[in-house]
Amino acid sequence: MSQTILEIKNLYVNYHTRQGDVKAVSNLNLTLDKGDKFGLVGESGSGKTTLANAILRMIKPPGYIPEGKINLDGTDVLSLSESDLRKFRSTSVAIVPQAAMNALNPVRRIGQQINDAFVDHGVKLSKSELNDRLAELMLTVGLRSEVPRLFPHELSGGMKQRVSIAMAVSLNPKLIIADEPTSALDVVVQRQVIDTLDQVQEKYGSTILLVGHDMGLMAQFSNRLGIMYAGELVEIGSSTEIFSKPNHPYTEILISSLPDTKTKRKLVGIPGLPPTLINPPTGCKFHPRCPKVFEPCSDLVPEKEIIDEKSFFFCHLSTINNGKVDKKIVGTK
Ligand code: SF4
């Protein structure tokens, strides 16, 4: 039986602005099991990084969490004290950041930086134990054993990113959040970084939440996918099901934007721009851009359509397909 590691219930995250609150994450529900490789996809500004920061309790003012629950391996994340938060980070949840260069201290050797996390979390290692642990971590992420003696500027972008992965797994956390870890890397190195995450997951059995907008990388890595639009999870399912039969028009368009070398079909872009989240569109938030928009979409919020225990989506088309409403197409865009 699968073991739940992360459970998020009815989560909202807002940012105060002079014009009003930006509703960056709205009524979000998500469950991840042990060993899941979950891909969280969406355009920039869809709320992916805000969600990742909420799990890490890193939402800073003017951001705030008005409502919701985050439970990670039995810990109520939102009620942790500041001192418990320090222990919680790295041992329960760790992050592989977007830009490894900015995350590494330029004036400390890699080994010293990894050791800082051990010291900070009360892990006492002798010099030889530390060297063994560093060598094991380097081996896991495919780096040479001398890398701990180097400074960040002596490493390439891909090596730095693999060092970040080594740091993230150094205290064997239950959940690793990789926030667009391959941005700014070339495609060959992107593949190596994703393969490294795969190896780490296999070795430690960690649950990985990979945040990104590249459907190709997601297809390569994830066993489950969540599609975010305007602060909401609009579809969740197994990667195989979603790629073979997407239920939400937004998911469909994201998949159509992937090049296909076999059929050489025309690439389709997403019309329009993501909405402002101070005053999001009424009804289905995707309706101003949806090629399948019809009468109820601009007024009524779609209900959750459950496919199975772990798969659902939000779209009025399902109610049409179930014969509950008449389809009146009012426009295609
Ligand atoms: Fe498109 Fe309507 Fe479905 Fe929203 S509810 S995704 S507008 S068809």
The full set of domains in the chain, from first to last, is 4-314 (3.40.50.300)
Each residue of 192-209: b (16+ CB within 10 Å) or e?
A: bbbebbeebbeebebbbb
Using the mean position of ligand 1's atoms as its centre, give its distance from the Cα of residue 328 in Å. 12
Closest CA to 157 of 201, 195, 102: 102
pLDDT at 184: 74
pLDDT at 329: 39
Which pair of structure tokens corresponds to residue 140?
């896991």
Q: What pLDDT does 2 receive?
A: 78
Tokens encoding 287: 């309706």
Instruction: Measure 250 CA to ligand 1 centroid, in angstroms.
Output: 8
274 has pLDDT over 50: yes
For residue 265, the one-letter residue type is R
Q: What is the DSSP letter of 140?
A: H
* Alpha helices in 180-214, H assignment, sequence order: 187-204
Is any atom of ligand 1 closer than 6 Å to the C-beta of 284? Answer: yes
* pLDDT range class, residue 318, cuts 50, 70, 90: confident
Q: Does any ligand 1 atom lie closer than 6 A to the CB of residue 287?
A: yes
pLDDT, the chain, mean: 91
Lowest-confidence pick of 34-43, 92-101, 218-227: 92-101
Give dist(CA 87, CA 81) in Å, integer. Answer: 10
In whole angstroms, give the CA distance from residue 29 to residue 12: 10
The answer, yes or no, to whether residue 332 has pLDDT greater than 90, is no
pLDDT confidence bin for 171, thresholds 50/70/90: very high
pTM, two decimal places: 0.91
Q: Kindly list the strands in the beta sheet with 22-33, ordered across the sheet, starting from the edge strand earlier in the chain.
A: 22-33, 4-15, 63-72, 75-76
- Residue nearest atom 3 of ligand 1, based on CA coordinates: 315
Of 59-68, 203-212, 232-241, 316-325, the least confident: 316-325
d(CA 157, CA 98): 11
pLDDT in the model for residue 321: 60
Alpha-carbon distance 288 to 295, whole Å? 12
Beta carbon of 285 within 6 Å of any ligand 1 atom: no
**Contact assessment for residue 235 and residue 242, using Cβ atoms and an 8 Å cutoff:** yes
What's the helix, strand, coil split of the chain in %, to 5?
A: 35, 25, 40
- Band of the pLDDT at 85, cuts 50, 70, 90? very high
**Could you give the CA distance from residue 276 to residue 290 in angstroms, rounded to a whole number?**
16
Ligand 1 centre distance from Cα of residue 330 (Å)? 12
**H or E element at residue 32:** strand 22-33
For range 303-314, the mean pLDDT: 93
Rounded mean pLDDT, 243-251 = 95
Q: How far is the CA of 286 from the centre of ligand 1 (A)?
A: 6
pLDDT value at 322 more than 80? no
> Interior CA angle at 275 toward 273 and 280, to 5°?
165
Instruction: Check: CB of residue 200 under 8 Å from CB of residue 120.
Output: no
Using CB atoms within 10 Å of the CB of residue 27, give its burial: 0 to 12 exposed, 13 to 18 middle, 19+ buried: middle
